[in-house]
Structure 1
Amino acid sequence: MNTSVLPFLPRIEGIEFVEYATRQVDTFGALLQAMGFVPVARHRSRQVLLYRQGNMNVILNAHPKAQHVPEGDGIELRALGLRVPDAEQAYAHALACEARPVATRPGPMELNIPGIQGPGGAAVFLLDRRAGVAFYQVDFLPLPGVSFEVPALAGLHLFGVVQYIQRGETARWCDFFHQTLGFEPLPDDVRFGVMPRGALMRSSDESFFLQFVEAPEGAEDAHWQEGFTRIGLGAPDVAAAVAVLEARGIQFVDASLLGGRDRGALTRSLEGGIQFELVQHAA
C-alpha cells in the first residue's frame, strides 16, 4: 500500500449512514421500526428509503438495478457512509493508498458520492458537509407529515460495525483502514460488548469502532461471507434498552449465555438472519 503519495492526515467526523440491501422492503422496514427507526424520506429516483432515529441514519436499498441487492429473502449490510472534512481530498488520498473505487452513477439533481471498497466488496462512502447540507437533504424527498427529528429509544446511538474477514487478513485490513481513513488499533485487552473476538479499531474522532473477525479455524469448508456483518448500537443502560425493545417485539439471546447484561446484549437472528448488538456505552 503506497501511503507516501499525498501529505494528508486521514480524519473522519462520524458515521453519516449505514445501508442495507434487500428486496424485502415491508418486512425489513417493519423490523427497523420495531428497533425504533422511522421512515422519513424517499430517494428522488430509486427504490430507496431513509430511516432515522436520534442521529442515526439507516438506508434501505431495494432498487432493482442496484449492485449487490440479494435475491429472495436476503438482507445484507452493504455500505457505510463516513463523514469527512473534505470528501474529494479524502477520496484522492484513499486512491493514492491503492484503495479500489466504488462505481457510482448519480442521477439528475443527485450528489456524486465517492466510495472505496472494504472487505468483501462492501462500500465505504465518503461525504462532507462543507456547504452545511447533508446528502439526504439533496438526494431524498421528505415523506409527507413526517419529521426528520426522531427521538432515540433508550438513548441508542451508533457504536460500531462488525466485519467478517478471511483468515490471516486482520493485519492487512487494519493497515488499510489506518492508512486510508485514520482508524487506530486498540490494545488486545480493550474490549466492548458481549462478542469480544477479533481486532478493534477506533475512529480518529473517537466516535465509533470497527471490529474485524476472522473465519475460525476448521471453517475452511464452511460458508464464510466476508464483509460488513452487523452494527453495534451503544446504550447508556443496556438492560433498560433491552426491556424497551423486547416490549416492541425484538427477541434477544438469553443473557446467561453471554455473561449477563453488564457489557451488552445480542438480538436473536431476525428477518433475513440480521442481528443487532447492544453495547454498554454513553453517547
Structure 2
Amino acid sequence: MSLAISTTSIPGDLEEKLSVIAEAGFAAVELHEPDFTGFHGSAEDVAQMAQGFGLSINLLKPFNDLEGWEAAERTRAFDRLERKFDLMGALGTEMLLIGASSRKMSIEQTATDLADAADRAKARGMRLAYLALPWAGLVQTDAQALDLIQKIDSPNLGLALNSYFSLADGGKPAQLRDMPGARVFHVQLSDAPRTPGTIRSLKRHFGMLPGLGSLNLAGFVKVLSRAGYKGAWSVARVNEHSPSPGGRTLAQDGYRALVNLLDEVSRSDPDLHFDIPDLPPRVYSSGIEFIEFAADATSGKELTDMLSAMCFRMERKHVSKSVELWRQGAINIVVNTEEEGFAHSAFIGHGPSVCDMGLRVKDADQTVARATALGTPQFSQPVGAGELDIPAIRGVGGNVVHFIDEKSDLHRVWDIEFEPVAKTEATQPAGLRRVDHVAQTMRYEEMQSWLLYYTSTFEMAKSVIVDVADPAGVVHSQAIESPEGEVRLNLNGAEGHRTFAASFLADRFGAGVQHIAFLSDDIFETSAQLAAQGFARLEISPNYYDDLQAQFGLDDDLVARLRAGNILFDQQGNTAYYQIYSQPIFQGFFFEIVQRSRSYTGYGARNASARLAAQMKHQRPAGIPRT
C-alpha cells in the first residue's frame, strides 16, 4: 500500500520531479505521459532513473477517448492502446489510467469496447483503471463505472477513484460502502472547499492537497479501506490555479498532507493500517509561553519603549546573555540583542523581528517527533552552561518554535536561565492578560504550506479564508486555532508588491510575524492606561465611526468613546469585539490590543480595510505622493 503522487503536481523537468518526489518520502509516482514525451531519453532511461531514486512507476496516465468509435477510428483507438502497452512495458509499469470517453454512445457499445480493452490488457499482462468523469459523454459517476466493470467481470479491468469527483458535488463517503475493494485498482486523493457549482466548472480551480479543503477525505479513505482496497494512495494533480511554492515544497506538502490524512484514519479505526511512519498524535497546545524578538541595541530600545508604553515591565535578565524578559499578565516577551547565535543571525537576515515562539505542550519531545516525521526540520544550537536544551523545530520563514512542557524542567526556564532585576518603580499594568493571537504574513504561494504545517502537527481547526481589501490590493487571511482558543494564528497571504503586508515582506526578506494581539478584559480601562503612558496608537479615519454607528445602531456615547480612543468595533449577534492598534515599527510590525465580549470568535475582519488604510497613511507621511 504505497504512497504516490502525480508528476503533474510538481513543476520542473521529469528528473527534477522524480528527485524531489523521492526526497519528500514517496515510494511511487503516477507518470503523466506529457512528462515523458517532453523528456529527452527513452522509456528505459525513465525506468532506470525512477529506480535510481527508489521510486516505482505505479501508473501511466492519461488515456482518453478509447470508447465510442466506429470502423477505422475504432481501429486507431485500439492501436493507440497497444502502443501504450508497449510504452508501459518499457517503463516497468502494469497499470494504465483510462478516463471515460467524452463521446456520446450507448451503454452496450461502451461495455463492448471496455471488454475488448480488458482482453488486450490481459494478453499483455496489464491492468486498466477506469475513471468516471463528470464531463464524460456517458460514464459520469462512480456507480456507472462500477456497474460496467462488474458486468464485464475481468480481472484486468478495475475502477479508478478520485475523491474530488466522488465528493465535491455533495456526495458522502457512505455511498461507497458497498464498493468491492478488489474492483478498485487505484485511488487519487484531492480536496476542495465548500463552494457552490458543478464539479466540471470547479475542477480547474479547486484540486487541492488533502486537508486544505473541506471534503471528508478521512471518511473516503476509511470506507475504501474497510471495503478491502489494497492499492496505492495517491495525491492527485494539484490544479494550475493553486499558488505554487516550488517543486520541493509541493512534494513535501503532498507527503505531509497524505501521511497526516492516513494517520488520522488509522487513529479513528485501529484495525486499519497504512505504510506510513509511526507518528505520535497531533499535539494539543495549551497556550503561547513566550515570543522572542531579535534586535540590536537601537531597535531593541525602540521595542522596549513600546512595551513600556503598553505597561510591560522588565522582570528578568538572562544569566549570561544580552536577553531580557518583559512581562504583563501571562505574556512573556523576550528581547534578544545578542551579537552571536541564532537570534543574531535572524536579525542579520530579517532585521528586528520575531525570531522565536514558545508553545506550551504536554510532551515536548513527542511534539518534535511528530513534526520531523512529517518533514519539518528540527532546530538545535549550542547550549551554554546552566542552560536548558529546549526541543524545537523550524517554523514560518525560518523562525523557530520551541516547546515547553511540565514533564521536565522546561517550564522552569525563567527561573533556571534568568535572574530577577531590581524594581526601581512600580508599573501599573494595563490589563493585558495573555496573547490573543499572532499574525504571520507570507507570500500567498507559501500560505497553503504553512497551513498544512500547523494543522498536521497541532490540534488546530481552520476557518474560511477571508479576502481583506488593502488600499493597494488584496490580502488573503486564514485563521486557525486550538480547540479552546488558547492558541490562535492568522496566516496572511500577500499578493502583489504594494500592499501593506507585501511591503512588510519586502523590508524583511521573507515571511514572519507581522503583528501580535494581546487580550484585555476592559478595553476602555486599558485604553486610558495606555494613554497615560504615552502609547503611540494608530489613528483611525473619522469616517469609520460615522459608518460604524449606521452599521450597528450604536448609541452616541459609545461611538464617542470609541472615536476618542481610536478603538475599532465589530459585532456578531450579541457578541462584540474591540481593537486598538499601535503605530507600526520595524517597517511594518505592530501590536494590537483586543477585547472579546460574550465569547466573540472572529478577528474583526470588517475592520481590516480601515486599519490597513490608516497604516498605509502612516507609512506614507503627508506630502509624499503615491508611487
- TM-score, normalisation: structure 2: 0.41
Q: Aligned-pair RMSD on alpha carbons? A: 3.0
How far 1:270 moved relative to its partner? 3.7
Q: What is residue 352 of structure 2 aligned with on the other side?
A: 75
Partners of 1:113 and 1:204 in 2: CA distance:
25
2:592 is the alignment partner of 1:268 = no
Partners of 1:173 and 1:116 in 2: CA distance:
13
Partners of 2:457 and 2:366 in 1: CA distance:
11
Q: What is residue 42 of structure 2 aligned with on the other side?
A: none
Q: Deviations over 1:216-257 (max 9, x none)?
A: 235599626311122111222334322321221112122337
2:302 is the alignment partner of 1:23 = no
Q: Point out the more displaced range, 238-247 or 219-228.
A: 219-228
How far 1:61 moved relative to its partner? 0.5
Q: Where does structure 1 lack aligned partners over 5 or more consecutive residues?
A: none
Q: What is residue 549 of structure 2 aligned with on the other side?
A: none
CA pair 122-250 structure 1, distance change in 2 beyond 3 A: same
Q: What is residue 157 of structure 1 aligned with on the other side?
A: 434
Q: Where does structure 2 lack aligned partners over 5 or more consecutive residues?
A: 1-255, 264-276, 469-474, 546-566, 570-577, 600-627
Partners of 2:290 and 2:530 in 1: CA distance:
21
Counterpart residue type for residue 183 of structure 1? M
Q: Point out the more displaced range, 270-279 or 105-114.
A: 270-279
Counterpart residue type for residue 280 of structure 1? Q
**Does the 8 Å contact 2:290/2:358 carry over to 1?**
yes
**Does the 8 Å contact 2:446/2:493 carry over to 1?**
yes
Q: What is residue 50 of structure 1 aligned with on the other side?
A: 325
**Does the 8 Å contact 1:199/1:211 carry over to 2?**
yes
2:434 is the alignment partner of 1:119 = no
Aligned length: 276
Q: 1:234 aligns with which of 508, 513, 519?
A: 519
Q: What is residue 454 of structure 2 aligned with on the other side?
A: 177
What aligned pairs does 1:1-283 form with structure 2 within 5 A after superposition?
A: 1=256, 2-3=259-260, 4=263, 5=277, 6-24=279-297, 25-69=300-344, 70=347, 74-131=351-408, 133-145=411-423, 152-188=429-465, 198-219=477-498, 223=506, 225-256=510-541, 260-262=567-569, 263-270=578-585, 273-281=588-596
Partners of 2:310 and 2:289 in 1: CA distance:
19
CA pair 271-188 structure 1, distance change in 2 beyond 3 A: closer
Q: Between Structure 1 and Structure 2, which shows a larger proportion of strand residues? A: 1
How far 1:280 moved relative to its partner? 2.2
**Does the 8 Å contact 1:39/1:52 carry over to 2?**
yes
Counterpart residue type for residue 67 of structure 1? F
Percent identity among equivalent residues? 24
Partners of 1:212 and 1:171 in 2: CA distance:
9
User: Greater CA radius of gyration, 1 or 2?
Assistant: 2
Partners of 1:35 and 1:234 in 2: CA distance:
12
**Does the 8 Å contact 1:36/1:153 carry over to 2?**
yes
SS at match of 1:198: strand
SS at match of 2:303: helix
Q: Deviations over 1:33-56 (max 9, x none)?
A: 221111111112211111111111
Q: Point out the more displaced range, 16-25 or 2-11.
A: 2-11
How far 1:209 moved relative to its partner? 0.8
Partners of 1:270 and 1:164 in 2: CA distance:
15
Counterpart residue type for residue 120 of structure 1? G
Q: Point out the more displaced range, 15-24 or 2-11.
A: 2-11
Q: What is residue 59 of structure 2 aligned with on the other side?
A: none
**Does the 8 Å contact 1:104/1:114 carry over to 2?**
no
**Does the 8 Å contact 2:318/2:417 carry over to 1?**
yes
**Does the 8 Å contact 1:118/1:227 carry over to 2?**
no
CA pair 136-205 structure 1, distance change in 2 beyond 3 A: farther
SS at match of 1:255: coil
Partners of 2:304 and 2:585 in 1: CA distance:
12
Partners of 2:463 and 2:312 in 1: CA distance:
31
Q: Point out the more displaced range, 35-44 or 253-262.
A: 253-262
Q: Deviations over 1:42-84 (max 9, x none)?
A: 112211111111111110101110224335x942111110010
How far 1:146 moved relative to its partner? 8.2
SS at match of 1:91: helix
Partners of 2:453 and 2:427 in 1: CA distance:
35
Counterpart residue type for residue 413 of structure 2? F
How far 1:261 moved relative to its partner? 2.5
SS at match of 1:77: strand
Counterpart residue type for residue 289 of structure 2? E
**Does the 8 Å contact 1:104/1:113 carry over to 2?**
no
How far 1:268 moved relative to its partner? 0.9
Q: Between Structure 1 and Structure 2, which shows a larger proportion of helix residues? A: 2
Q: Point out the more displaced range, 79-88 or 178-187.
A: 178-187
| Greater RCO (Cα-Cα under 8 Å, separation 6 or more) | 1
Q: Point out the more displaced range, 255-264 or 177-186.
A: 255-264
**Does the 8 Å contact 2:328/2:432 carry over to 1?**
no
Partners of 2:432 and 2:535 in 1: CA distance:
17
SS at match of 2:285: coil
Q: Deviations over 1:127-161 (max 9, x none)?
A: 112247432111112223589x9874134421011
Partners of 2:541 and 2:431 in 1: CA distance:
22
CA pair 152-204 structure 1, distance change in 2 beyond 3 A: farther
CA pair 157-75 structure 1, distance change in 2 beyond 3 A: same
SS at match of 1:160: strand
Partners of 2:480 and 2:427 in 1: CA distance:
29
Q: Point out the more displaced range, 203-212 or 115-124.
A: 203-212
How far 1:172 moved relative to its partner? 1.9
Partners of 1:228 and 1:269 in 2: CA distance:
13
